[in-house]
Amino acid sequence: MTGVRLTHIGGPTVLIEFDGWRILTDPTFDPAGRRYAFGWGTSSRKLTGPALAADAVGPIDAVLLSHDHHGDNLDDAGRKLLPSARTVITTESGAARLGGHAVGLTPWSSTRLVRPGLPAIDVSATPCRHGPPLSGPIVGEATGFALAWEGQRHGALWITGDTVLYGGVREVAGRLPVGLALVHLGGVRFPVTGPVRYTMTAREAVELCRAVRPHTVVPVHYEGWQHFRQPPSNARRAFDRAPDVPVRWLDIGAPTDLET
């Protein structure tokens, strides 16, 4: 099989299915309405609930968790789901906090997912910086993921994670052929830090994708939260102005088959 089935559940949460594997990114399943504190005077309200409830997702082989310390990437219901997954892959600091069966990766290190009768998946951590220069001690570690398995036609499945556009994330262009890219948008900002952004805008994602040249770009992490400051309509216009970037917007909650 050369394709995958993606179900965008909302925010950064995507169910990835192929060849018997079921992998979930950044589980967020709390209902809308609650305000979450992110530290250092920042907070945000969840505006939209998930398209699927946690108990409707089904069995999960692995959770790819870009970071564990922000409620828009791992909320209470998502945290309760983690023990039911065979493996949780995240940052080194996140794995230390979560314990149990969590595996921590540093940028460009990797681990292998293996199940009898299924193709092995090599999971590599890709660089992220979840804020401006020197913000690491404040915002904490985050990571992206590249998934490679035998039979991919166009290249790895890459998940950017929550990141701004910077040199580390641009390294992917020189190190990996990418077939399908899940790019985290939102242009995250908070009133207390003014114009500083903590994730990419769509314009920045277009710039990144022109360097990486994936076969298909799937935007996620752009709706459902108060601190996502680039409206989805603006993000769509940015991609509309870049016909050379092969974008595919998923209907939230609807399984969609794509090539890798």
Question: For residue 2, what pLDDT band results from cuts at 50, 70 and 90?
Answer: low
Question: For residue 14, what pLDDT band results from cuts at 50, 70 and 90?
Answer: very high
Domain spans of the chain? 3-249
> pLDDT tens-digit profile of 112-134?
999 999 999 999 999 999 999 98
Tokens 């892959």 correspond to what residue? 89
Q: What is the pLDDT of residue 134?
A: 86
Contacts of 64 (CB under 8 A, 6+ apart): 23, 24, 25, 26, 89, 90, 123, 145, 159
Question: For residue 41, what pLDDT band results from cuts at 50, 70 and 90?
Answer: confident
Cα angle, residue 111 at apex, residues 105 and 115 outer, rounded to 5°: 140
142 CB burial (10 A radius; 0-12, 13-18, 19+): buried
For the chain, give the percent of residues with pLDDT over 90: 95
- pTM of this prediction? 0.97
**Class of the 3-249 domain?**
alpha beta
